[in-house]
A and B are shown apart, each in its own frame.
Chain A
Amino acid sequence: MQTSLFADAIFWVLAALAVFSGWRVFRTDSMVRASFFLLASFIAVGAIMLLLAAVYLGLAMLFMMAVEMMVMALFMVMFMMNPAGLNPMVMVHQHRLSIVAGGLAFAVLGALALFVEFPDRPLPAGLDPVASLGREMLGDSMLVFESAGIVLLATMIGVVVMSSHRGRFGAADQGSLPPGLEPGGVPAGPQPDAEGSGGHHHHCH
């Protein structure tokens, strides 16, 4: 691909931004700030995709990640004990192992990038990336595309099932008893809680 000096300069700035903000994600005290650093990393990668003429993918990345990271920041505020970064925070385990694993992954993949001869076949001159992607998605690879859609639908259903606690009329198992092990015997399994336990299920061992 013919790239000008200007495009190269932009690429290096974006690459530095992507890696730096990716690193800052795990080095900042505030979890909300961490999600915005991750967003910055995604936006930089999306802009690099735009530089590489992947117009649709780059723009989809920007829109998708902006929304996704907003959701993530909201979750941080809802669930995390230290969303604002008021206290210094180090919440890591197996730290040394993780550093070694991350460094090793970078070394192996970087060595592959440096020492493997990849064919040099740039984009053909008259290619319209968006049209070619559309033709592929609704043509030869329609099965892949539709399967992804079905999996997303299944995910939506699964997520609602997993995260919904009770229905409009109370807990789903309210008042229900499992059948006994013998006819008319004591119900098997854990008994449903009494009313007003606040939704805590304590499983005795």
Chain B
Amino acid sequence: MTLVSLLLVAAALIGIGLYGALSQQSFVMLMMGLELMLNGVMLAAVAFWALSGAGAPEGQLLTIVVMAVMAIEMAMGFALVVAVFRTNQADMTEALGELKH
């Protein structure tokens, strides 16, 4: 369990999450990609805190902030899904063509 191996796992999670966020057509799947990226970010933050930061408390605080970001992203994402679904019965990103002008 070295810093390098932890960071590689985090990089893999961020890469998979980026792939999902860019490729998925469904809003909720897109949000899952974003969540996976934040998952990797939190893992990297904790890894740096434990193995490279000498336990500086700001490292843990950063992870708490990322968790708050995650909760906000989730709540706003679902509210947007509900709002879009109400107006044009859509759950796909392609259905939002009328935002183009």
- Give the docked Cα–Cα distance between A12 and B83 (Å): 42
In the complex, chain B residues 11-49 whose Cβ is within 8 Å of any chain A Cβ: 11-20, 22-26, 28-29, 31-33, 35-36, 39, 42-43, 46-49
A-B contact count (CB 8 A): 252
A-B CB contact pairs (8 Å), 26 listed:
A1-B1, A11-B5, A22-B36, A25-B16, A26-B19, A26-B20, A48-B6, A54-B60, A60-B67, A72-B32, A79-B85, A92-B23, A99-B23, A102-B17, A105-B15, A105-B18, A106-B14, A106-B16, A114-B8, A118-B48, A119-B52, A136-B57, A141-B57, A144-B65, A159-B79, A162-B83
Q: In the complex, A110 Cα to B80 Cα: how many Å?
A: 34
Task: Assess the B29–A31 pair: CB atoms within 8 A.
Answer: yes
Chain A residues with CB under 8 Å of chain B are 1, 3, 7-8, 11-12, 15, 18-19, 22-23, 25-26, 31, 34-35, 38, 41-42, 45, 48-49, 51-54, 56-57, 60-61, 64, 68, 71-72, 75-76, 79-81, 91-95, 97-99, 101-103, 105-106, 109-110, 112-114, 118-124, 127, 129, 132-133, 135-137, 141, 144-145, 148, 151-152, 155-156, 158-159, 162-163, 165, 199-201, 203
